[in-house]
Chain A
Amino acid sequence: MQELGRAEHTSVRVTPKGKDQVVIEKDLSSEEMILNMGPQHPSTHGVLRLECKTDGEVVIEAEPYLGYLHRCFEKHAEMVDYPGIVPFVDRMDYLASMNSDFAFCIAVEKLLDIEIPRRIEFIRVIVSEFNRIASHLVAIGTYAIDLGAFTPFLFCFRDREHMLSLLEWTSGARMLYNYILIGGVAYDFPEGFKERALEFVGYFRPKALELQKLLTENEIFVKRTKGVGIMPADVAVNYGWSGPMLRGSGVRWDLRRMDGYSIYPELDFKVCVPDGRFSDIGDSLSRHLVRAMEIEESLNIIEQCLDRMPEEEGFDPKAAIPKRIRPKAGEVYGRAENPRGELGFYIQSDGKSTKPLRCKARSSCFVNLSAMKELSRGQLIPDLVSIIGSIDIVLGEVDR
């Protein structure tokens, strides 16, 4: 047995042989194996390739390779004028186009220094919160599927469809809206929108609770996510994490509250952070819980907005849009809270052209994913799937 003690930390194989006897083989070579996950793997949520160095079932390091969906957004943005960029922005984060448009318009409007009508602000917040719920539902549904639960996925996509119908009714498109424009929105809400939206909120509240129960109280789901991929708060900040990822690590940080853009300062909503009762702070389950709790908060925000939105007869949603969008020379970094975190746009204008000199998109999942190498160290391969799912990446936004 002494020999066994000494053999600790080197690769050994112990085989029982007869009564109270074992055969010990020492210094077995354990070679690293490179395992490619993706780019066409369902659990990578798109076209992401992870090159995993593995030692048996343990991942030593997983290096993400991106760029499979690189469509040169930033180069295109330098070639078209400002309103023409909005459809490109739609196609970055295709699950939350409204929020992306919102962030881009905030950045350009800061540069233009124009006043936005109050009703427009309400419309924008309502559509983006609907889109936030829809996006979180995809995140939760696909996460469940990654971990082998099929039913929540169906529940999520059923309810998401109601929201997409509402947004389609408003904007004319199901996912890529081009609805929030610089200085306004494309159309006013159709007649009867308020009633239909309220009806949906009433319908969805119990469903959201049901979904919570189905996953958060599901033992298998909890065992696969609790304590997996823990990210301490200070490291998360250093990695530039934002959104539900950062809040999952217990940092009370939400741009809707901290930056207070649009009409968010007037609204009453909680910044959701896990309280440590169900999850270990900073693990995959915490990040899932934050998303689930945020659905509730978004419903609250929508209700408040529908209630307080000023009604105006014959309202023209395009009235505040400047005839020619040509910002004065300058630079701006504008940002907004996307479902996946901080989406920022750094824009440079030379003051003469209607096209930006430089337009950089600070993608939230790109930054969140950059911690993958650190998170993957020493994890089991199945836990890797659990970690990627909890990051909630949209490759369209990672690669731009």
Chain B
Amino acid sequence: MGETQENTSQLPEVIEAKAVWAVLKEKFGDAVSEFDENPTMPFFEVLEPERWLDIALFMRDSPKLRFTYMACLSGVDYPEEKKLGIVCNLESLGELGHKIAVKVRCEREGGVISSVARVWKTAEWHEREAFDMYGMTFSNHPDLRRILCPEDWEGYPLRKDYEVQETYHGIKVPE
């Protein structure tokens, strides 16, 4: 196991991501977790979800980082830890070329994550989708509504314990 870890840390993508993490760790200290040398997707976690917006702004605008492009934002459910979360895949498109993933978690019931829709406009729809599917709220989101399900749908379909509502406007919902 120790040997494989040594090998993976040699990957240029992981080395670049680690350098990015080091800059953020120095600036934000305890709000940023340890670096995870996942060879297929190196990431770190934002431990204080209310500081995620500051970190995101810094990541976009700092000349050393310049994460101009948000490739993806996925909602995730962690039922064992009673948490919900998001995973953001960021990239410095056409400038520095490095990539990193960021995770933010919040409580399962009534959890709030600060919205980054003003940092990357693409996050607006991605966050709406995460809200639609998992039910965490994004504070200061310009227009937080359901996006794929109907407005009056009950429950959050991608949660692991989701149960389909029996009827919708008098129509039986298939299992």
Chain A 368-389 per-residue mask, 1 if CB under 8 angstroms from chain B, else 0: 0011001000000000000000
Q: A331-B40, A370-B124 are in contact. Are A342 and B158 (CB under 8 A)?
A: no
B89 in contact with A238 (CB, 8 Å): no
Closest-CB distance, A76 to chain B (whole angstroms): 11
Closest-CB distance, B42 to chain A (whole angstroms): 10
| A366 to B71 CA separation, bound complex (whole angstroms) | 12
B133 in contact with A331 (CB, 8 Å): no
| B150 in complex: contacting residue of A67, A234, A332, CB < 8 Å | A67
A346 interface contact, C-beta 8 A: yes
Closest-CB distance, A329 to chain B (whole angstroms): 10
| A374 to B124 CA separation, bound complex (whole angstroms) | 13
Residues in A whose Cβ lies below 8 Å from that of B122: 238-240, 367, 370
| A70 in complex: contacting residue of B38, B69, B71, B148, CB < 8 Å | B148
Q: A75-B157, A253-B93 are in contact. Are A333 and B121 (CB under 8 A)?
A: no
| B71 in complex: contacting residue of A239, A362, A399, CB < 8 Å | A362
Q: Which residue on chain B has the smallest CB distance to residue A400?
A: B148
B89 in contact with A333 (CB, 8 Å): yes
| A240 in complex: contacting residue of B69, B133, B147, B150, CB < 8 Å | B69
A67 in contact with B87 (CB, 8 Å): no
B40 in contact with A111 (CB, 8 Å): yes
| A110 in complex: contacting residue of B40, B77, B94, CB < 8 Å | B40
B147 in contact with A344 (CB, 8 Å): no
A72 in contact with B87 (CB, 8 Å): no
| B120 in complex: contacting residue of A238, A360, A366, A399, CB < 8 Å | A238
B72 in contact with A344 (CB, 8 Å): yes
Closest-CB distance, A136 to chain B (whole angstroms): 23
Closest-CB distance, B138 to chain A (whole angstroms): 15
| A360 to B77 CA separation, bound complex (whole angstroms) | 12
**Most B-side CB within 10 Å, residue of A67, A75, A335, A344:** A67
Q: Is the interface of A mostly helix, strand, loop or mixed?
A: mixed
A70 in contact with B89 (CB, 8 Å): no
- Considering only residues 46-90 of chain B, those with a C-beta below 8 Å from chain A are 68-72, 74-77, 87, 89
Residues in B whose Cβ lies below 8 Å from that of A240: 69-71, 120-122
Closest-CB distance, A397 to chain B (whole angstroms): 12
| B74 in complex: contacting residue of A70, A75, A358, A366, CB < 8 Å | A358
| A330 in complex: contacting residue of B38, B74, B120, CB < 8 Å | B38
Q: Which residue on chain B has the smallest CB distance to residue A371?
A: B121
**Most B-side CB within 10 Å, residue of A72, A331, A371:** A331
Residues in B whose Cβ lies below 8 Å from that of A235: 121
A360 in contact with B124 (CB, 8 Å): no
| A67 to B121 CA separation, bound complex (whole angstroms) | 20
Q: Which residue on chain A has the smallest CB distance to residue B146?
A: A67
B69 in contact with A237 (CB, 8 Å): yes
| A346 to B94 CA separation, bound complex (whole angstroms) | 22
A66 interface contact, C-beta 8 A: yes
B41 interface contact, C-beta 8 A: yes
| A331 to B120 CA separation, bound complex (whole angstroms) | 23
- Considering only residues 56-93 of chain A, those with a C-beta below 8 Å from chain B are 66-67, 70, 72, 74-75, 78
B74 in contact with A360 (CB, 8 Å): yes
Q: Which residue on chain A has the smallest CB distance to residue B68?
A: A237
A131 interface contact, C-beta 8 A: no
| A333 to B90 CA separation, bound complex (whole angstroms) | 11
| A72 to B157 CA separation, bound complex (whole angstroms) | 9
| B40 in complex: contacting residue of A332, A360, A362, A399, CB < 8 Å | A332
A348 interface contact, C-beta 8 A: yes
Closest-CB distance, A376 to chain B (whole angstroms): 15
B106 interface contact, C-beta 8 A: no
Closest-CB distance, B107 to chain A (whole angstroms): 19
Q: A333-B41, A344-B89, A346-B87 are in contact. Are A66 and B158 (CB under 8 A)?
A: no
B131 interface contact, C-beta 8 A: no
| A374 to B143 CA separation, bound complex (whole angstroms) | 14
B101 interface contact, C-beta 8 A: yes
Closest-CB distance, A36 to chain B (whole angstroms): 16
Chain B 123-141 per-residue mask, 1 if CB under 8 angstroms from chain A, else 0: 0111000000100000000
A98 interface contact, C-beta 8 A: no
| A72 to B124 CA separation, bound complex (whole angstroms) | 20
15 further A-B contacts with Cβ under 8 Å, apart from A75-B158, A252-B94, are A67-B149, A235-B121, A238-B122, A240-B71, A251-B93, A251-B94, A253-B93, A331-B101, A344-B71, A358-B77, A360-B74, A362-B72, A362-B89, A370-B121, A370-B125
Q: List 13 A-B contacts (CB under 8 A).
A: A67-B147, A75-B157, A237-B93, A333-B40, A333-B41, A333-B72, A342-B71, A344-B72, A344-B89, A358-B77, A370-B121, A371-B121, A399-B148
Which residues of A are interface residues toward B (Cβ below 8 A)?
66-67, 70, 72, 74-75, 78, 110-111, 234-235, 237-240, 251-253, 258, 330-335, 342, 344, 346, 348, 358, 360, 362, 366-367, 370-371, 374, 399-400
4 interchain residue pairs of minimum CB distance: A240-B122, A360-B74, A332-B40, A362-B72
